[in-house]
Amino acid sequence: MCQGFLADEPVAYVLDADPTVYRALRSIARSRGVRVEPYGSAEDYFQVSDPKQSGCILFDPKVPGSGDFGLLLERLGREGIHLPVIVISACGEVRAVVEAMRAGALNYLQKPCGEGQLAEALDEALRWNADNHQDILDRLKVRRRLGRLTAGERQVLDLLLRGLSNKEIAHQLKLSVRAVEARRSKMMGTMRAKSLAGLLSQAISGRP
Domain final position from 69, 104, 132: 132
pLDDT band at residue 67 under the 50/70/90 scheme: low
pLDDT at 126 over 80: yes
pLDDT band at residue 66 under the 50/70/90 scheme: low
Q: Are residues 101 and 61 in the same domain?
A: yes
pLDDT at 93 over 80: no
The whole domain housing 41 covers 11-132
**Is 141 inside a domain boundary?**
no
- Write down the pTM of the prediction: 0.66
Q: What is the CATH number of the domain that holds 111?
A: 3.40.50.2300
Q: Are residues 54 and 119 in the same domain?
A: yes
| CA gap 186, 188 in Å, rounded | 5
Q: State the virtual CA torsion across 61, 45, 21, 127 in degrees, nearest 10.
A: 100
pLDDT at 145 over 50: yes
The reported pLDDT for the residue numbered 7 is 44
The closest of 64, 50, 51 to 15, measured between CA atoms, is 64
**Is 61 inside a domain boundary?**
yes
Q: What is the CATH number of the domain that holds 164?
A: 1.10.10.10
